């Protein structure tokens, strides 16, 4: 028999912080970290994987924040993407790999490429924090041989954006290092988005 979940307490804490108008990305990260250290339990019915792609279950959507349980089977990953708002994620089970990227523009052609900037292996209890407008381009994948389960909290009502926190998917070529003469692109700037 699975123990009673403390997930509802975590969700209630976030809702209480939002009602008091004090919910921030940092407070969310601290709260998620506290619950993970105490043994946050996500019920089995929210952890089932999907062989067609990573499984996403919306646990809460409100004006100030949304909470999603994500399950990754071995070999599954997101596309390279960014978010509509800040994102806090915490691993409950398994291993996730978070790969960060920077966007670079080639000098002559103006073509843009992605260059890996960091790779973080996240085991249970690890909390990651992404806060736009910093360059938050990344890909998340299952880095282990079993399922990986994580909670993601977004500083937006993702139910109003089709149930996804993804702002943009990046399909540019990935290269090992910035090409000679290339410059980093502040991709949230309209001038840098032009070809």
Residue 2, domain member (yes or no): no
So what's the pLDDT on residue 132? 78
pLDDT digits (tens, 9 = 90+) for 162-180: 777 878 889 999 999 999 9
pLDDT at position 1 is 41
Q: Say what the pTM is.
A: 0.87
CATH code of 58's domain: 2.60.120.10
Looking at the predicted structure, is the pLDDT value of residue 3 above 80?
no
The tens digit of pLDDT for each residue in 114-154 reads 999 999 999 999 999 988 766 689 999 999 999 999 999 99
Beta bridge partners of 69: 57, 151
Helix axes 25-37, 7-19, angle to 10 degrees: 160
Mean pLDDT of the chain: 89
Residue 181 lies in a domain: no
Q: Are strands 127-130 and 148-154 parallel, antiparallel or unpaired?
A: unpaired
Tell me whether residue 185 is in a domain.
no
186 assigned to some structural domain = no
Q: For the sheet containing 87-93, what is the strand order?
A: 55-61, 66-72, 148-154, 87-93, 127-130
Any domain includes 108: no
87: enclosing H helix or E strand: strand 87-93
Q: Is residue 14 part of a domain?
A: yes
Q: What is the pLDDT of residues 34-47, one digit of tens each?
A: 999 999 999 999 99
Domain count, the chain: 1
Q: Domain range for residue 37?
A: 7-97+119-168
Q: Is residue 43 part of a domain?
A: yes
Q: Does a structural domain hold residue 90?
A: yes
């Amino acid at each position: 028999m699975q123990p009673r979940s403390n997930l509802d307490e975590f969700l209630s804490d976030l809702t209480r912080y939002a009602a008091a108008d004090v919910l921030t990305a940092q407070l969310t990260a601290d709260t998620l970290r506290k619950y993970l250290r105490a043994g946050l339990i996500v019920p089995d019915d929210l952890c089932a994987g999907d062989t067609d792609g990573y499984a996403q279950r919306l646990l809460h959507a409100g004006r100030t924040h949304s909470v999603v349980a994500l399950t990754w089977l071995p070999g599954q990953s997101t596309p390279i993407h960014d978010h509509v708002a800040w994102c806090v994620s915490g691993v409950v089970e398994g291993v996730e790999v978070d790969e960060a990227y920077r966007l670079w523009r080639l000098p002559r052609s103006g073509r843009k490429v992605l260059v890996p900037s960091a790779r973080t292996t996240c085991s249970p209890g690890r909390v990651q924090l992404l806060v736009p407008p910093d360059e938050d381009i990344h890909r998340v994948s299952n880095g282990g041989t079993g399922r990986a389960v994580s909670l993601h909290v977004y500083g937006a009502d993702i139910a109003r954006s089709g149930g996804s926190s993804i702002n943009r998917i990046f399909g540019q070529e990935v290269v090992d290092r910035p090409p000679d003469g290339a410059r980093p692109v502040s991709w949230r700037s309209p001038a840098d988005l032009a070809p």
